[in-house]
């Protein structure tokens, strides 16, 4: 089967073609990603209206390029998958309308994929991994621990009560004048920093359950910056290192607890999987490798370019769903919010978003 996948839910306009199914190892035939980072940079964050307009002006040629690189015509496709949410609604609408038009004209199966589900399943595109697995989903908008027991079967074990970790990375970078997006910049500066110079809090560490909170960490970073006043390059390096170490300690503690919760409810997981944009961070991956090893598990992580948003992950989630006959109608309505586990009790706390 050949599937086209479209991703426009945040600040990447992406289209990809993958082939696979029927037990064949999936192959990425093309994965074109156009980042909008430059146009949002002056605002130090994604401006939804600007994002939607940029998706609209680029989506057609990005799709054409993905088809060209895959050396396929639309007639050779079996289906088209699109991120149907959650995300910035203007962008999601652009992707969904484009996908519906292509599906209608070429009479293709249409699959509206949950963007978070695509992150959750990406690991099965890059390696053979059986269900169930423990998933740490860490992106700009989400920070959740989930038991993934099958396609479409996600059980939330814990979630953030306020900010997502990627958001905390981005805000830290912004306060330090490192620009947007902040994750990669903070990781880079942390390499030359002294993590022990600043004593930052580890919110939620040691608490029952496996929920997260990052707003206190962000506030602590702001206070240190204010105390220092004029920042020297070494100060920036040290703050980045201290922030990343604190984030690593929290992730390690929460993920370890999630593994215990998982084992009690679902038995042994096949692996600890980390996904989403923050999973591109090598320091955090190393910390999570230790957490997994302590429980006799392997850490499974997609390559960094498949951790951040891309069309291939959407196409793959579409292929997994199509293989199970889980197609959608052309009356699908784009969803700004779309929880992976609709049965999970709403998170409670200051500033809860989803
Ligand atoms: O998954 P993603 O591309 O978009 C969302 O669905 O949110 O994640 C983007 C987030 C941003 O907050 C970005 O700063 C963060 O992932 N990120 C990183 C790294 N690369 C991207 N955070 C920490 N270290 C990185 N190397
Ligand atoms: Zn994402």
Q: Per-residue pLDDT tens for 160-177? A: 999 999 999 999 999 999
Mean pLDDT, the chain, rounded, equals 95
Q: Which ligand is nearest to the CA of 284?
A: 1
Dmax (CA) for the chain in angstroms is 62
Cα 286 from Cα 279, distance rounded (Å): 11
- How distant, in Å, are the alpha carbons of 172, 255, 320, 330 from that of 195? 15, 21, 42, 52
Q: Is residue 24 over pLDDT 90?
A: no
- How distant, in Å, are the alpha carbons of 39, 82, 84, 139, 140 from that of 170? 16, 26, 25, 11, 8
Cα 28 from Cα 24, distance rounded (Å): 12
3-state percent breakdown (helix, strand, coil) of the chain, nearest 5:
45, 20, 35
Cα 301 from Cα 272, distance rounded (Å): 9
Q: What residue has token string 């004593």?
A: 199
Lowest model confidence (mean pLDDT) among 5-9, 22-26, 244-248, 332-336 = 22-26
pLDDT of res. 344: 87
Kind of pairing, strands 24-35 and 12-21? antiparallel
Q: Is residue 37 over pLDDT 80?
A: yes
pLDDT of res. 349: 54
Cα 100 from Cα 30, distance rounded (Å): 20
- 296: its two tokens: 């006799």
| Mean pLDDT, residues 53-75 taken together | 98
Ligand 1 pocket at CB < 6 A? 10, 139-141, 166, 169-170, 181-184, 187, 276-278, 280-281, 308-309
Residue of 170, 171, 278, 286 with the most ligand 1 atoms within 8 Å of its CB, for mutation: 278
Contact 130, 317 (CB under 8 A): no
pLDDT of res. 35: 95
CATH architecture designation of domain 131-302: 2-Layer Sandwich (3.30)
Contact 77, 2 (CB under 8 A): yes
pLDDT digits (tens, 9 = 90+) for 94-129: 999 999 999 999 999 999 999 999 999 999 999 999
Lowest model confidence (mean pLDDT) among 161-165, 180-184, 194-198 = 180-184
Q: Tell me, in angstroms, the distance from the centre of ligand 2 to residue 163's CA.
A: 15
Q: Which CATH superfamily is domain 2-123+305-323 in?
A: ATPase, nucleotide binding domain (3.30.420.40)
**Within 10 Å of residue 126's Cβ, how many Cβ atoms?**
17
Give the HSE-up count for residue 287: Cα atoms under 13 Å, Cβ half-sphere: 21
Q: Which ligand is nearest to the CA of 45?
A: 1
Residues 6+ away with beta carbon under 8 Å from 48: 88, 89, 90, 91
pLDDT of res. 348: 62
| Of 41 and 145, the one with more pLDDT | 145
Q: Tell me, in angstroms, the distance from the centre of ligand 1 to residue 177's CA.
A: 17
| Domain chopping of the chain, boundaries | 2-123+305-323, 131-302
Q: Tell me whether the CATH fold assigned to 2-123+305-323 matches the one assigned to 131-302.
A: yes
8-state DSSP, 212: B
């Amino acid at each position: 089967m050949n599937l086209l996948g479209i991703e426009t839910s945040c600040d990447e306009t992406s289209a990809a073609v993958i082939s696979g199914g029927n037990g064949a190892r999936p192959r990425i035939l093309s994965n074109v990603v156009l980042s909008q980072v430059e146009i949002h940079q002056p605002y130090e964050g994604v401006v939804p209206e600007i994002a939607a307009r940029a998706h609209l002006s680029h989506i057609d040629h990005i799709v054409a390029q993905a088809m060209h690189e895959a050396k396929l015509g639309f007639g050779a496709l079996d289906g088209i998958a699109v991120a149907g949410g959650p995300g910035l609604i203007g962008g999601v609408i652009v992707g969904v309308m484009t996908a519906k038009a292509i599906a209608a004209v070429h009479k293709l199966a249409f699959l509206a994929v949950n963007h978070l589900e695509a992150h959750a399943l990406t690991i099965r595109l890059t390696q053979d991994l059986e269900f169930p697995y423990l998933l740490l989903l860490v992106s700009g908008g989400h920070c959740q621990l989930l038991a993934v027991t099958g396609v479409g079967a996600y059980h939330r074990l814990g979630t953030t009560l306020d900010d997502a970790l990627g958001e905390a990375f981005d805000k830290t970078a912004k306060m330090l004048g490192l620009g947007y997006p902040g994750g990669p910049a903070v990781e880079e500066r942390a390499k030359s920093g002294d993590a022990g110079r600043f004593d930052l809090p580890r919110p939620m560490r040691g608490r029952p359950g496996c929920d997260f909170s990052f707003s206190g960490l962000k506030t602590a970073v702001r206070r240190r910056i204010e105390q220092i006043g004029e920042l020297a390059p070494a100060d920036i390096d040290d703050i980045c290192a201290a922030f990343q170490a604190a984030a690593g300690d929290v992730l390690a503690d929460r993920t370890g607890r999630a593994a215990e919760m998982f084992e009690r409810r679902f038995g042994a997981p096949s692996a600890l999987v980390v996904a989403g944009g923050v999973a591109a961070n090598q320091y955090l991956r190393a910390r999570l490798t230790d957490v997994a090893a302590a429980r006799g598990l392997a850490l499974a992580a997609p390559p960094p370019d498949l951790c951040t948003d891309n069309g291939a992950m959407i196409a793959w989630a579409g292929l997994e769903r199509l293989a199970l006959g889980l197609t959608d109608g052309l009356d699908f309505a784009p969803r700004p919010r779309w929880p992976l586990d609709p049965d999970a009790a709403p998170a409670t706390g200051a500033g809860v978003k989803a």
